[in-house]
Structure 1
Amino acid sequence: MNLDELPFDPANRKRTSQYTKNPKKQDEIRRIYLTRGPYRPQEGFIYPQKTIGGFERRFKPKWYKDYHCLEYNDKVDKAFCQCCYLFRDCIDGQGGNDAFVVNGFSSWNKKYRLDTHVGEVNSYHNVAAKRCDALMNQDQSIKVALNKQTDITKRQNRIRLNTSVESVRYLLHQGLAFRGNDESEESKNKGNFRELVQTLANQNEDVRNVVLKNAPENCKWVSPDIQKELANYFAKIRLNSILEEIGGDVFSLLIDEASDVSDKEQMDVVLRYVDKLGLILERLVGIVHVKETSATCLKSALEKLLVDIGLSFKQVRGQCYDGASNMRGEFNGLKAKILEDNRSAYYVHCFAHQLQLVIVAISKKNEDIADFFYMISLLFTVVGASCKRKDMIRETNRENVKRGISSGRISTGTGLNQDQSLQRAGDTRWGSHYRTLSSLIQLFPSIVSVLKYVSKEGKKDSKKSEARGLLSFFGTFDFVFYLHMMFHILGSANTLSHALQQKDQDILNAMSCVKSTRNDLQQLRDNGWESLLEKVYSFCEEHDIPKLNMHDEYVNRYNTRKRTNITNLHHYQIECLNTVIDWQLQEFDDRFNEVNSSLLIHMASFNPKNSFAAFNPESLLKLAEFYPQDFHSSKLMDLGHELRIYIENVRADKRFANLDGIADLAKKLVDTKKHLAFPVYQLLKLVLIFPVATASVERCFSAMNTVKCVLRNKMGDKFMSDCLICYVEKDIFSTITNDAVIDMFKKMSDREGKL
């Protein structure tokens, strides 16, 4: 029943008891009618006449002043009593009621009947009028008197709940645990939540007087269930804000899977979309526990998650994974399963994972490079596995820095000369090999000192032998050359790796960065030999390592007796540097094969650089054909005309003169409101949401290790997902108000304590 649609006309009204049997609802209906006032024609209405007893009679408007509850219906030309109508169903024993409640009064020649209806003090009409006054004058009612007594209770409940919400907010923001081993009042380990509530109470006397011990048992709102419930409301509000940003538009999926600390396989789901301001965003929407990692199981879990938050596979326009077979399989992978439902959900193999494969795997195809990385890994077993030896490296490096500063060889300044340690490399950690080589170059004297100590003072013979082998290898020209060669190659890739991990990186700029890195490697191959050799010689001189004459015959250190008949120059430049770079250039072309795909070629026509020099309307029309769900046949016909108008407009507008990429183009179109004038903006959004890398997913997994650690490995899947949703995207989470959470807390369930 919609109370706002109650009929006002007395001829169309039902009895209040016919609307509902609930007394409280009946009072709401009566209050609405009393607020509206009696039903009367507008001023100036001419009341019709009728013949009664041979005379023309009609209703007289002056009667309204004498009888304030009097109503008149112009359709039936009858008068009614509003207060009697409202309380007719609950007052019995009075005569003449129906004339003014149901049938209506029209004996205009018998005005005394109005006085009779009003009657004495205790008449039906006067009792009904008093009830109307009491209903509207709530300040005089017993209910209001009781409510005044409960106002204090409501305020106290609000303080208690607000304290719990504030505590949950802080713990979610910091990714901290909620519960302790024992949350009783006497416990010494109540957990972060209870301790934080107590801390807030200690800072405010009003809070201290109503929370924990001073709160009713059923309204403390500090139980574990309440904690999880509040965390869930924060997560729901955040998800609602993401849905509002998407606005029913399209998005791409970034997905990966990993096990948590309790060995549960978790699937991380991140959405990539363009918001209403034209910004590219990547947001976490949930982590789902999957019992198996088959494509069918993953798709089922993903579909359920999307449905739960109000999205569907029909909105997907891209998918990006790390390259695992169960994800990108051509026939039975998750990629193929999603394409069965949506042919426009184009797949991209994560660029960052491809780059890692290019740099590390291909470099190890060269035996000398493979030996070099093996010796680096051996270094960590000898030096990096002992806390004492790590401390020795740091202390030795600190002393070397002090001596360098004293001699003026090392400059000082903010951020310079910080403590350093060896960085362990890992094939699955982007950029870790570059950081390893960088730390090795900077800490080389300290590392050599520690190796010498181990070779002499070590307790295990195996470690002594390994330390002596490392010292021997580190004192060769081969080590220095491979160190600087791979440092340079990995340095170029590290810049690309950081670029690919940016959340707002678009596919065209990513391909441009890939091309630039490839050109940098080609430049090193063609013209970088001299500068590389100069750095190698400089390092050898600084650390007293024998240098080789490049024109001498190369001697294989594994077989010194056998002649090689090649010079050092040929071996190090041609067989090492050029060969490794050639392999990598070939891998760049093979693994980043999207550069030759028609989809990306068409996307390049949106590039705004050089006054939109790459613009090609035919190419953009073909691009639109890849998305039949967004551009049907009639819309494609209109798009051709829109593209011509669009390019003339943006080229003539100076605000579009110096844009760096399509991401800047989208933001500028929104800033200038041109996205409303040119529907081609929808096609541009499809290009922007085309995924690049799963870096956002990897960051979420790193956060999962913070939220769910060894000390709280029993955390439930739903609770962990809610905590991560809030912890990962702090920019949205920080905008959620306590009042919004409290309002949801009130709506979602009936509470013992009134708020």
Structure 2
Amino acid sequence: MLQAVVLRFVDKCGIVQEIFIGVVHVMDTSALSLKSALDALFAKHRLSFTKVRGQGYDGASNMSGKFNGLKALILNDNESAFYIHCFAHQIQLVVVAVAKKHDGVKDFFDLLALVVTVVNSSCKRKDMLREIHKDRIQEEIGNDEIETGKGLNQEISLVRAGDTRWNSHLKTITSLISLFPEVKKVLEYVEDDGDNGSTRLQASGLLSYFKTFEFVFYMHLILTILGLTNSLSQALQRKDQDILEAVDLIGTTKAQLQMLRENGFDQVLEKCYSFCDKHEIVKLDMAEGYVNTRNPRKRMNINNRHHYNYDIFNTILDMQIREFGDRFGEISTDLLQNMAALNPRNSFSQFNKSSLLKLSKMYPRDFDDKERMILEHELDIYYHFVYNDVRFANLNGIADLARLKVATRKHLSHPLVYQLLKLTLVLPVATAMVERCFSSIKLVKTDLRNRISDDFLNAALICDIENEAHAKVKTEDVIDRFQKMKTRRGQI
């Protein structure tokens, strides 16, 4: 079993870097085995756990367990190695939680997966989907209904959603909306000429579901929610993303969900009506009495607006907002609240000397009592300087602040403040880099290379993952070094 290790640090230019240093084999996934493997890797590279100032994993108990997880073992050795649960992973858990707890959302995702399975289960159906879509595009171009140009009207297919990446459902829903007429025709073909009775029955049930306003409403509501959370997820994939900017993005996303909950129902409803008009689906009058399609004889004594607005729309968004608050509980911790005082936005409006002094106490290995006394005076000088220097007036985050301090050499004038900046920047935000490493492992360690040694695998992975650094290495330098490794008969 392989374990990938990525180091996050601030370089001499004040820029956050994330580099892959290698993979190690572990006999099992217990916390003790993982810790032993990390100890060996650190010793190999002459690194020390005493210098670690942050650790980040997903939510697996062997990694993030409070008492016996890898996080706890490292914290026992170094109390300043603060743990951050991967923000990107927590976003996935927010969507998963709502999908599991709300029956309507769960049914929608189940039927969405079934649609993709039925349509993509044979090459014949895939080809049929492409041909029907091609004919429709040509007809719309001929009628001047759509624009033409480079990169427009490309061939698309019904995207299969991934089990571990819930934002992939966004691509599935958008592709379904784009290919809705074609998907219906393929399902009609399967309903008439399916391989067996079960498949034909599935296609018939899906076609019936497609004709309901409930399907259209769930599709557009979930599309809107996933669109908001997807923007946050994509932002967290950046290597130089810092913890304070990530916290701001989470707060903004939560505020947008709250705005959608308060004022967004009519906008979603308008999109649903437009979709119904385009695809000849019966629209519901929101003032009419609601009829439960699963039990039409049962009187509900509510109208359609009450059901779709309060029972579905508000309920789902309330669950989403509540999950955001529960999953991102560490945002309200003293650590991040104290770090927020470094944020340079709005002319350093969040600057708070007391909070920064408290932050320094959280890192006893970096600031002793004497240095904290010096820091107290240095913070006054630092704030007066950055507040009055126009070069520091329009910064977007602490990453920009650190780069500018190095560029202006003010990190030498305020070394202890710069130390606080570096400690904040090295806190991990997401494990996207680690996941990219595992994707590279699948490409590098193929069936033909299944028996390569760990050293060779690490070397190949470093060349593949750290391609920017690898591109700077000259072929002549590699040949020269290889030539000097030992005496050789001939000159290469």
Q: What TM-score bracket applies, with the shorter chain setting the length?
A: over 0.9
2:437 corresponds to which letter in structure 1? C
Instruction: Tell me the matched-pair count.
Output: 491
Change in CA separation of 1:430 and 1:307 when aligned onto 2, cut-off 3 Å: farther
Corresponding residue for residue 295 of structure 1: 31
Aligned with 2:7: secondary structure?
strand
- Residue 361 of structure 1 and its aligned partner are, at CA, apart by 2.2
Structure 1 residue 747: Cα displacement: 5.2
Instruction: List aligned pairs for 1:337-376, cutoff 5 A.
Output: 337-376=73-112
Matching of residue 732 in structure 1 with residue 469 in structure 2: yes
Partners of 2:491 and 2:93 lie apart in 1 by 60
Q: Residue type of the partner of 1:293?
A: T
Q: CA deviation at 1:739?
A: 4.2
| AA matched with 2:125 | R
Task: Tell me if structure 2 keeps the 8 A contact 1:451–1:471.
Answer: yes
2:369 equivalent in structure 1? 633
Q: Which residue of 2 aligns with 1:493?
A: 229
Which residue, 413, 422, 428 being the options, matches 1:677? 413
Matched, 1:416 2:152: yes
The reply on whether 1:650 has 2:391 as its aligned counterpart is: no
Q: Deviations over 1:91-146 (max 9, x none)?
A: xxxxxxxxxxxxxxxxxxxxxxxxxxxxxxxxxxxxxxxxxxxxxxxxxxxxxxxx
1:751 deviation in Å? 4.3
Does the 8 Å CA contact 1:423/1:439 hold for their aligned counterparts?
yes
Distance in structure 1 (CA, Å) of the matches to 2:130 and 2:341: 53
Q: CA deviation at 1:402?
A: 1.2
Gaps of 5+ in 2: none
Q: Which amino acid aligns with 1:313?
A: F
SS of equivalent to 1:686: helix
Amino acid in the other structure paired with 2:405: L
1:707: which partner in 2? Answer: 444
1:270-304 CA-partner distances (Å, limit 9, x unpaired): 11111111111111100112111111111111111
Cα distance per residue 1:683-702 (max 9 Å; x no partner): 10100111100001111111
Question: Per-residue displacement from partner, 1:312-357 (whole Å, max 9, x unpaired)?
Answer: 1111100000111100011111101111111100000000110001
Q: Do the aligned residues in 1 keep the contact of 2:5 with 2:20 (CA within 8 Å)?
A: yes
The answer to whether the 8 A contact 2:97-2:323 is kept is no
CA distance in 2, matches of 1:509, 1:312: 28
Q: Given that residues 360 and 427 in structure 1 are in contact (C-alpha distance below 8 angstroms), is that contact kept between their aligned partners in structure 2?
A: no
Question: Normalising to structure 1: TM-score of the pair?
Answer: 0.64
Q: Deviations over 1:398-431 (max 9, x none)?
A: 1111111111111122222111111111231252
Contact 2:53 2:423 in 1 (8 A): yes
Cα deviation for residue 712 of structure 1 reads 3.0
Give the Cα separation in 2 of the matches to 1:653 and 1:753: 62
Aligned to 2:210: 474
| Aligned counterparts, 1:33-48, within 5 A | none
Q: What is the distance in 2 between the residues matched to 1:744 and 1:684?
A: 39
Segments of structure 1 that go 5 or more residues without pairing to the other structure are 1-264
Match of 1:541 in 2: 277
Task: Judge which range, 733-742 or 521-530, deviates more.
Answer: 733-742
Residue of 353, 356, 372 corresponding to 1:617: 353
Residue in structure 1 matched with residue 328 of structure 2 by the alignment: 592
TM-aligned CA deviation for residue 750 of structure 1: 5.0
CA contact (8 A) 1:455 1:465 kept: yes
Identify the range of structure 1 (276-285 vs 424-433) with the bigger mean alpha-carbon deviation: 424-433
Alignment of 1:264-279 (within 5 A): 265-279=1-15
Larger deviation, residues 521-530 vs 407-416: 407-416
Aligned with 1:560 (options 277, 296, 304):
296
2:220 is matched with 484
- Give the SS at the match of 1:272: strand
Matches within 5 A, 1:215-230: none
State how far apart, in whole Å, the 2-side matches of 1:748 and 1:630 are.
Answer: 41
- Aligned pair in 2 of structure 1 residues 430, 308: CA closer, same or farther (>3 Å)? farther
Please state how far the C-alpha of 1:748 moved relative to its aligned partner: 4.4
Deviation of 1:730 after TM superposition, in Å, equals: 0.6
Aligned residue in 2 for 1:16: none
The residue type equivalent to 1:622 in the other structure is K
| Alignment partner of 1:377 out of 110, 113, 128 | 113
Query: Is contact 2:99–2:109 with CA below 8 Å preserved after alignment?
Result: no
Partner AA of 1:724 in structure 2: L
- Residues 1:722 and 2:426 aligned together: no
- Tell me the distance in 1 between the aligned counterparts of 2:244 and 2:455: 37
Task: Give, in angstroms, the shift of residue 717 of structure 1.
Answer: 2.5
Question: Is the contact between residue 342 and residue 398 of structure 2 (CA under 8 Å) also seen in structure 1?
Answer: yes
SS at match of 2:101: coil
Q: Tell me if the contact between 2:80 and 2:363 (Cα under 8 Å) persists in the aligned partners.
A: yes
Partner Cα separation in structure 2 for residue 511 and residue 597 of structure 1: 12
C-alpha distance in 1 between matches for 2:449 and 2:141: 47
Distance 1:746 1:726 in 2: 20
Give 1 or 2 for the bigger CA radius of gyration: 1
| TM-aligned CA deviation for residue 397 of structure 1 | 1.2
| Equivalent-residue separation in structure 2 for 1:445 and 1:455 (angstroms) | 15
Query: What is the CA–CA distance in structure 2 between the aligned matches of 1:490 and 1:535, rounded to whole Å?
Result: 16
- 1:633: how far off? 1.1
Using the alignment, how far apart are the partners of 2:290 and 2:373 within structure 1? 68
1:308 maps to which residue? 44
Give the conservation status (yes or no) of the 8 Å contact 2:15–2:402. Answer: yes
- Paired AA for residue 452 in structure 1: E
* Cα distance, 1:381 vs structure 2: 2.1
Name the counterpart of 1:119: none
- Give the distance between the partners of 1:528 and 1:610, measured in 2 at CA: 29
Indicate conservation of the 8 Å contact 1:518/1:588, yes or no.
Answer: yes
Q: Whole-Å Cα distance in 2 between the matches of residues 587 and 671 of structure 1?
A: 41
Whether the 8 Å contact between 1:352 and 1:430 is mirrored in structure 2 is no
Quick check: 1:356–1:427 contact (8 Å CA) kept in 2?
no
**Is residue 96–residue 166 contact of structure 2 (8 Å, CA) maintained in 1?**
no
Residue 364 of structure 1 and its aligned partner are, at CA, apart by 3.1
